[in-house]
Amino acid sequence: MKTETRQEEIIRVAAKLFKEKGYSAVTMRDLAKAMGIKAASLYNHINSKQDILNAIIISLAEEFTEGMKLIQSSNESCIDKLKKIIELHVRISSQNIYGMASLNNDWMHLEEKLDYYQKLRVDYEDDFRIILKDGIASGEIVNAQPEVMMFSILTTLRSLYIWVPKKEDLNLVELSNTLNQILVKGINK
């Protein structure tokens, strides 16, 4: 296991604080205190508070984009693709529950990277929508409104970070399967 740099440590601790109170309510003094140093010392490792938010959000957003592209280009059935999407969210969310909070709640505080983030997000949702529509067309999925289906599934998956840490005993494979049953089998004709 690679040794964590001081910069990485700052980003990790910041994400934890951002999850509790949100980006705007966490001060550089709060972060410094959690690190056991003074606020001025943080700037030896990072350029700005904004850069910390960028580092947290963009790497996660790109991870989701990569995962979706792999799923999209596979030759699996629509139902299997949805299962893969669920597994993607469970995996990334459980590996970085603190970062997921910023991705969900603080993306609007991005500055230079805001447009880029929003493009990744829109593209991700477009890919998701196509999978659902293909499933409806092929008869794999019930013919309900795909927007409502996507909203329901994606909202649940995006909020996993709130709930996963409370279930440390929970097996992640088992969680994926249960979510798959509840979210996908429910719309499976």
Partner DNA sequence: GTCTATATTTTGATAGAC
Partner DNA sequence: GTCTATCAAAATATAGAC
- Residues lying near DNA in the complex (CB under 7 A): 6, 26-29, 32, 37-41, 43-45, 47-50
Q: Please report how close the Cβ of residue 33 comes to DNA at its closest, in angstroms.
A: 10
Could you say which of 4, 9, 25, 115 contacts a copy of itself (CB under 8 A)? 25
Which residue, 72 or 152, has its beta carbon nearer to a copy of itself?
152
Q: Token pair for residue 103?
A: 């991705």
Which one of a copy of itself, DNA, none is in contact with 159 (Cβ closer than 5 to 8 A by kind)? a copy of itself
Alpha-carbon gap, residue 126 to 128, rounded angstroms: 5
Which residue, 22 or 37, has its beta carbon nearer to a copy of itself?
22
The pair phi, psi for residue 37, each rounded to 5°, is -130, 180
Which one of a copy of itself, DNA, none is in contact with 45 (Cβ closer than 5 to 8 A by kind)? DNA
Classified as helix, coil or strand, 128 is helix
Alpha-carbon gap, residue 86 to 172, rounded angstroms: 11
Q: Token pair for residue 157?
A: 């998956």
Regarding 61 and contact with a copy of itself (CB under 8 A), the answer is no
The pair phi, psi for residue 84, each rounded to 5°, is -65, -35
Could you say which of 7, 65, 77, 152 contacts a copy of itself (CB under 8 A)? 152
Residues 6+ apart with CB under 8 A from 92: 60, 63, 64, 67, 100
The conformational region for residue 145 under phi > 0 = left, psi -120 to 50 = alpha, else beta, is: beta
Regarding 186 and contact with a copy of itself (CB under 8 A), the answer is yes
Which one of a copy of itself, DNA, none is in contact with 16 (Cβ closer than 5 to 8 A by kind)? none
The residue ranges that bind a copy of itself (CB under 8 A) are 20-25, 105-106, 108-109, 142, 144-145, 147-149, 151-152, 155-156, 159, 162-163, 167, 175, 178-179, 181-183, 185-187
